[in-house]
Amino acid sequence: MRKSINTILISMLLCSPVTFAFDSVRRVEPLNWWVGMSNPKLQIMVTAPGAKQSWALKRYDGVTLESVEFGDSPNYAFINLNISEKAKPGELELSSNDDKYRFYYTLSARAKGSADREGFSTKDVIYLITPDRFANGDEHNDSLPTMKEKADPTFRGGRHGGDLAGVITHLDYLQKLGVSQLWLTPALLNDMETYSYHGYSITDLYQVDPRMGDNSLYKTLSVEAKARGIGLIMDMVPNHIGSEHPWMNDLPTQDWINYKGQFVGTSHARQTVQDTHASEFDKKRFTDGWFVPTMPDMNQRVSFLGNYLTQNAIWWIEFADLSGFRVDTFPYSDKTFLQFWLKSILAEYPNFNIVGEEWTSEAGISAYWQKGHQNKDGYESYLPTMMDFSLQQALVKALNEEENWNTGWIHVYQSIAKDFQFADPNHLLIFGDNHDMSRIYTQLHQNVKNTKLAMTLLLTMRGIPQLYYGTEVLLDNGESDDHGDIRIDFPGGFKNQQANAFTGEGLSREQREMQLYTEKLLEIRNNYPALQNGGLIHFSPFDEMYAYARGDEHPILIILNKGNVQKTVDMNRFAEIIRGKVSATELLSGQKYELENVMIGAKSALLLAL
């Protein structure tokens, strides 16, 4: 029986580290599609020498070829199909007018309930991993002859060998820890000369980097994680590609890359998006400028590219059964494109969740992008979730500063008090650190007790908590703020390490204590809905303490003491929360408390279930 050309293409892309070519048809993207999608339109991008010509579709019930469009290069064709409701799974046959090219394109059946999938939510705790630095599950793919950069574990900016197999091997550890969502920094192909380990210079948007595994293994990761109650979040990068991407040698249109494909740096002046006085020059320089010369900035105003990026996102959701996206450098993309991209994805998956990175402590700038926010310029965003950099910075200041009326906990209080600016503050992603900043233990000057207080707040506060891998065992980048040191190897994930965080062997007493404390906090959060989606009332800081309550019917009162001495807490200030109750159970210790004057230890927390 004849095996379809595109089936072979997909099979080789899923299982092989090499790029497949057939009859000089270099690429057909998306790799396949599905019947029964909300949007019947599909634009297939064909890459082949001389592809700029007429194309025909052999008769297929329910599918019509509406048009073929072209850019500036003679080597691309954009075939516009309409896939109606009556179309069935099968293979489309498409051929070029000169009959030089012919390929078979697979239409698949969607998984049951795919459109109704639930995205990550306030019920979840996200665990962020830089896969090259987490665990090496397959040493055979560390260095490959087809890849430009080889493994160099001794170089902080080199590839250390972590991969998808390593993550899969340790899913039981993540399940035991208590996390319910997994966010990997990009695992797609980064065939760059140097610094390819971080994943943000993508050179193929449809292929997992073979040093990480392949598409099939990525799908296995999703399946195995889901079997343990863990969803998979993909890190999407619609703003830029890597300079070694094949497009850079043959741009589909002359304006495919901003500034005519030549490096002009971004200003990083994110406020220009909302600034009613901003010049057009400054607006363009922010969104169109490149981060670095090795990251060409894509011009999503080109309709072909906008369609390509949107279909690519939908393809990964459907193919890998994803529960969410984290969008890198969100505001740097064209904001009209972002509307189209988000609206298209959420039309297919109404309950899907997407979180955007807007690195600012200014709530007003961040709130601009969240779905439901009424913007003065009339711009309507469809982004459900934002990263809460304001709370992250406030938390570090609060725990590092001496307490006074305008220092210490007041930063956290004021950050939370700005929630009125957000359309939905419960859908803010809260975190102590991530892959782009010093580790929280480092930021808190290696103070274990303060790190515990930080984790307590993050796992009991409103929002969706995210932990960076190794926070639970006090990973530390010391005096260095080099990203290669921030993204340190996870203990036990690589050969010849003295400690193993997966088993607990070789960890210091403080590391093991922190690990168990994190597990306990996660257990409590997972067992008490009030900490997931309950209302929030907080109290102005007092006597080196910050307190807040979660939940309505059965509230939990959280009191955090950063002071160096034991304190007596006058519970009368919490009368509106206590409402006549006389006792509570402290969730960390299980101890019973009478709700009169409560004692709290130095640099410790109370979680009082009333």
Contacts of 590 (CB under 8 A, 6+ apart): none
Share of the chain above pLDDT 90, in %: 95
How many structural domains does the chain have?
A: 3
Tokens 């922190």, located at residue? 514
Tell me phi and psi for residue 51, to 5 degrees: -70, -15
561 & 497 share domain = no
Task: Quote the pLDDT of residue 29.
Answer: 98
- Inside any domain, residue 389: yes
For the record, the structure tokens of 566 come out as 């034991």
355 & 429 share domain = yes
Mean predicted confidence (pLDDT) in 430-457: 98
CA–CA distances in Å: residue 141 to residues 151, 201, 335: 9, 19, 39
465 & 401 share domain = yes
59 & 154 share domain = no
- Inside any domain, residue 566: yes
CA–CA distances in Å: residue 473 to residues 193, 343, 429, 451, 514: 33, 40, 22, 11, 6
What is the identity of the amino acid at 605? A
333 & 470 share domain = yes
597 & 476 share domain = no
552 & 511 share domain = no
Mean predicted confidence (pLDDT) in 170-194: 98
Mean predicted confidence (pLDDT) in 139-151: 98
| Confidence grade of residue 17 (pLDDT, cut at 50, 70, 90) | very low
pLDDT at 19 over 70: no
- Inside any domain, residue 316: no
Task: Quote the pLDDT of residue 26.
Answer: 84
What is the identity of the amino acid at 66? E
Task: Quote the pLDDT of residue 24.
Answer: 67
pLDDT at 499 over 80: yes
**Sequence-distant contacts of 137-146: CB under 8 A, at least 24 apart:** 137/163, 137/164, 137/165, 137/166, 137/167, 137/168, 137/169, 138/163, 138/165, 138/166, 138/213, 141/17, 141/210, 141/211, 141/212, 141/213, 142/211, 143/211, 144/17, 144/210, 144/211, 146/17, 146/18, 146/210
446 & 487 share domain = yes
- Inside any domain, residue 483: yes
pLDDT tens digits along 325-338: 999 999 999 999 99
- Inside any domain, residue 307: no
Mean predicted confidence (pLDDT) in 223-250: 98
Domain final residue pick, 58, 82, 110: 110
Residue range of the domain that includes 157: 123-246+321-531
Task: Quote the pLDDT of residue 582.
Answer: 94
For the record, the structure tokens of 64 come out as 């019509």
Task: Quote the pLDDT of residue 23.
Answer: 52
Domain final residue pick, 110, 145, 171: 110
487 & 358 share domain = yes
pLDDT at 21 over 60: no
Is 328 annotated as catalytic? yes
* Backbone angle region of 538, left / alpha / beta, with phi > 0 → left and psi within -120 to 50 → alpha: beta
pLDDT at 321 over 90: yes
> Which pTM was predicted?
0.95
- Please choose, from the candidates 116, 105, 127, the residue with its C-alpha nearest in 3D space to the C-alpha of residue 34: 105
Contacts of 343 (CB under 8 A, 6+ apart): 382
Domain final residue pick, 494, 510, 531: 531
30 & 128 share domain = no
Mean predicted confidence (pLDDT) in 473-497: 97
176 & 240 share domain = yes
Marked catalytic residue, from 132, 204, 214, 328:
328
Neighbours of 280 (CB within 10 A): 8
Mean predicted confidence (pLDDT) in 530-544: 98
Query: Around 450, how many Cα atoms within 13 Å sit in the side-chain half-sphere?
Result: 23
Marked catalytic residue, from 132, 138, 357, 358:
357
377 & 236 share domain = yes
pLDDT tens digits along 393-440: 999 999 999 999 999 999 999 999 999 999 999 999 999 999 999 999
pLDDT at 162 over 90: yes
- Give me the count of residues in the chain: 610
Task: Quote the pLDDT of residue 9.
Answer: 39
